[in-house]
Chains A and B, each alone.
Chain A
Amino acid sequence: MEIFQGLMLGFKGLFTGMNLIAVFVGTVLGTIVGILPGLGPAATMAILLPITLGMGPAAGLIMLSGILFGAQYGGSTTSILLHIPGEASAVITCIDGYEMAKKGRAGAALTAAAVGSFVAAQLSFFGLTLFAMPLARFALRFGPPEYFAIALVGLLILTNVSGGTFVRNLMMIVLGIILSTVGMDPISGLIRFDFGYYELGKGIDYIPVLIGLFGMGEIIQWVMTKEEVPIRLPSIRLRDLYPTREEWKRMTSPIFRGGFIGFFTGLLPGPGAITATYISYTVEKRISKRPEEFGHGAIEGVAGPESANNAGSVGQMVPLLSLGLPFSALTAMMLGCLQMQGITPGPLFMVQRPDVFWVVIASFYLGNAMLLFFNLPMVGVFAMVLRIPMYMLMAIVTLIIIVGTYSIGNAMLDVWIMLGFGIIGFLMRRFNYEAPPLVLGMVFGPVMERSMAQSLLMFQGSLLGFWKRPVSGTILTVAAIGFLVFGLVKLLRYQRRPVKQGITV
């Protein structure tokens, strides 16, 4: 009942000028960046993050969410039509989607992707609506040891599921934490590592770093490679979009399975939407009666992963909205959006700011319906954005990034930090280091330092204290068992590998 009332409140607030515009702009932009290879949701969200400052917390978060969800939809379009994944989470769709297009079934593949994304996302929104509130209530009982345990385990899981290797990802997390220690000590208030500069004493905000790594870094990478998309778009008529009865039958179960896999994968730290597509594809292939068709145009290979990536991006929102802990770079940007407006998401978020929370939830339902419309009947119109020359986009984006970063705190130092991290972001790619763990290290650094110091004070220095509390003890024990099992499996696999390959750290 409480949830129903909340949703009603949300829909009432949603149909005001700014919020409605934010849903529209976010979903349109998301679809466009999903279609455009090279400019992903991370870069777009990073670029537009400062603009949300003038929109209000609800509209800002709605726009960013629209970009995130829209990119999952749009990413499938170029995967199916051109064999170019617009998004990392659409890579797997290329395999069977493009094969279907080659057989003249591009329309059916686009429908499978869009309908699957729609159904899975709606189900996941329902899951988010149901899960977020009880989880937040439960989290009200959390103290520093619990937050420390969640942050620690979350970051450790992230090191295993991000793109790089375990040690390198851990190094990036530590680097992020190190950067977060510049400025005021969260316990004593002492200024550290400012090197005599007043501005540094205020600390390094993670938002300019994030904009630099994902926005400016992307631009530098593009200038170095100048990858243009070969445009030979097949024409899709409206009647081509109807799948046959057989195709409908074959894609129904994968959509529901993909949605389920995606939502629960999204709850875990890391790039949930991307991981979910791989799991979904593997599951569909394993249980299929026609596994030989996978790789040659099986509609299950499109419907399952596309449903999973949308559900995965919804799942990521649960820890952010209910615990205030972002476990991916994309949700870290959403956290930044709220923090810039003076709101800290967490257990009290939905109690103190129900106007924001429920409007955002309601916007997901509406935005998803809009995305279905944009990605089916209007797919041809959106695909035309591929004709915009990249140099135009990149030149405009460079100026937006500079002014946008300046607008966060009206400080030129932020722009210099952004530029510096743009260069660092490019170098990190060349040296095989991942950017998301660094950003999350910066976000979690202050939480970890504060909660660790408070916990050690509480337990009088005894680390066993973490195991004496039920929640932190359970989290740490489960994580320890998980890592032990994971390590053993890795060791066994390593022993079976040919000797020459060696260990990669």
Chain B
Amino acid sequence: MKRDEAGAIFFICLGLFYTLISMKHDMGTIDNPQPGFFPRVMGILMVLLSTLVLVGSFRRRKQDKGLSVVWKEFDIKNIFFAVAIILCVVLYLLAMNTLGFLFLSPFLVFVIAWMMGGKSWVINAVMGIVTSGLIYWTFWIIMRVPIPLGSFWGK
């Protein structure tokens, strides 16, 4: 499948799904529009526009790139690091309420810096501790944002 076709099909499905769920709400009439009116217009518009893109993509199928363009132009190592960084952030967010910002953040910065190319363990560790401390100071002390400090530590 080509890239433009895949994109257009995704948006057609999205538009159809949105139009279908918007039918739960009353549409009303044009002189008295109800909560379902505007969403239904937008859903139909999305389907129409995506269909136009799909038709266009069929017309110039030969020039279009394949779906592999999403990853093909990048180094496999960089793709691995990008996915790993996203997973690290996901784990960080999942563990945030339990282990807290101050415990987790230096590790996150350390790991991300290492994956992004920072090979000195000492520099990465110092950067992790200093950055976390400064952010904690800015957000918690100055801006009074209730950053989760971790239920594990009884906070």
Contact = CB atoms under 8 A, between A and B. Distances in A.
A419 interface: yes
Contact of B33 (A168, A225, A453): A453
B82 A51 contact: no
15 contacts: A167-B49, A223-B85, A223-B116, A224-B82, A226-B78, A391-B113, A391-B118, A402-B93, A403-B147, A410-B145, A416-B93, A419-B89, A431-B70, A502-B60, A504-B56
B137 to A, nearest CB: 11
Contacts of A412: 93, 96-97
Give the contact-size bracket for chain B.
35 or more
Contact of B135 (A174, A185, A403, A502): A403
Interface string A313-343: 0000000000000000000000000000000
Interface of B: 3-4, 6-7, 11, 14, 18, 21-22, 25, 29-35, 37-39, 42-43, 45-46, 49-50, 52-53, 55-57, 59-60, 69-70, 74-75, 78-79, 81-82, 85-86, 89-90, 92-93, 96-97, 101, 105, 108-109, 112-113, 115-118, 124, 127, 131-132, 135, 138-139, 142-147
A464 interface: no
Give the contact-size bracket for chain A.
35 or more
B35 to A, nearest CB: 4
Given A223-B81, A505-B55, A392 B147 contact: no
Contact of A174 (B42, B57, B59): B42
Contacts of A392: 113, 118, 127
A227 to B, nearest CB: 11
A419 B86 CA distance: 8
Contacts of A177: 42
A53 B139 CA distance: 10
A54 B137 CA distance: 13
Given A178-B42, A402-B89, 10 more contacts: A51-B143, A178-B18, A181-B39, A193-B22, A223-B78, A224-B78, A392-B127, A398-B112, A410-B145, A448-B38
B25 A399 contact: no
Contacts of A287: none
B147 A406 contact: yes
Interface string A167-193: 110110011011001000101101011
Nearest to B119: A391
Interface of A: 51, 53-54, 167-168, 170-171, 174-175, 177-178, 181, 185, 187-188, 190, 192-193, 219-220, 223-226, 389-392, 394-396, 398-400, 402-404, 406-407, 410, 412, 415-416, 419, 423, 427, 430-433, 448-449, 452-453, 456-457, 459-462, 502-505
Nearest to A220: B82
B53 A410 contact: no
B120 to A, nearest CB: 10
Q: Is the interface of B mostly helix, strand, loop or mixed?
A: helix
Contacts of B39: 178, 181, 192-193
Most chain B CB within a 10 A radius of its CB, from A193, A396, A400, A504: A396
A259 B43 CA distance: 42
